[in-house]
Amino acid sequence: MAGLFSSGRVNNPQPPATSLRVTTSLQGQSRPIVYGQTRIAANLIDYAGFNATAVSNNSGGKGGLVGSGGKGGNSGQYDYQASVIASFGEAISNVVAIYNSSAVDFLQTPSAATLAALEQIGITPTYGNTYSIELHTGSNTQPVSSYWNGAFHTRALAYRGQAYAC
């Protein structure tokens, strides 16, 4: 009976995550201007080459409720891939590290204190752009991305004055 007259709201004493950095894709979003060194989330400004590949389940047998069934049938799951351009904001001088979930790839040699802190939390860093990301610092004379110019030449822009990676 109490459920009929309740407001349906749940009191949540936890404050919202205000310092969470999430990669976004918003048109018209202002570009940040970064001073000093900080960790920022990127804004996706373009994508191309979207590809969905069905994952086979190799279990064989007859079909079920989901998937095509039969030997080597589709499991109903897909792997998605796309080429993206992620903007970091106005021009920057350099990028020190790339964070990917709990992995860190350093583009410059980190301090001993940074390495010790990562070791304490169980992270073994990598070095030298292991993700093969093409970085642009946002100069007013920067060229078009060589990857985008070759793969998607009709959509390739220089994005001058804007730091980005693809």
Q: Give percent above pLDDT 90 in the chain.
A: 33
Q: What is the pLDDT of residue 31?
A: 80
Domain ranges of the chain: 24-32+40-88+137-166
**126-127 and 103-106: which strand pairing?**
parallel
pLDDT over threshold 50, residue 41 = yes
Q: What is the pLDDT of residue 21?
A: 58
The 8 Å CB, 24+ separation contacts for 53-62 are 53/78, 53/79, 53/80, 53/81, 54/78, 55/79
Confidence of residue 139 (pLDDT cuts 50, 70, 90): very high
Q: What is the pLDDT of residue 141?
A: 94
Q: Between residues 61 and 123, which one has the greater pLDDT?
A: 123
What pTM does this model have?
0.67
Confidence of residue 68 (pLDDT cuts 50, 70, 90): very low
pLDDT tens profile 78-114: 999 999 999 988 988 888 888 887 889 999 899 999 9
Q: What is the pLDDT of residue 32?
A: 80
Burial class (CB in 10 A: 0-12, 13-18, 19+), 55: exposed
Q: What is the pLDDT of residue 97?
A: 87
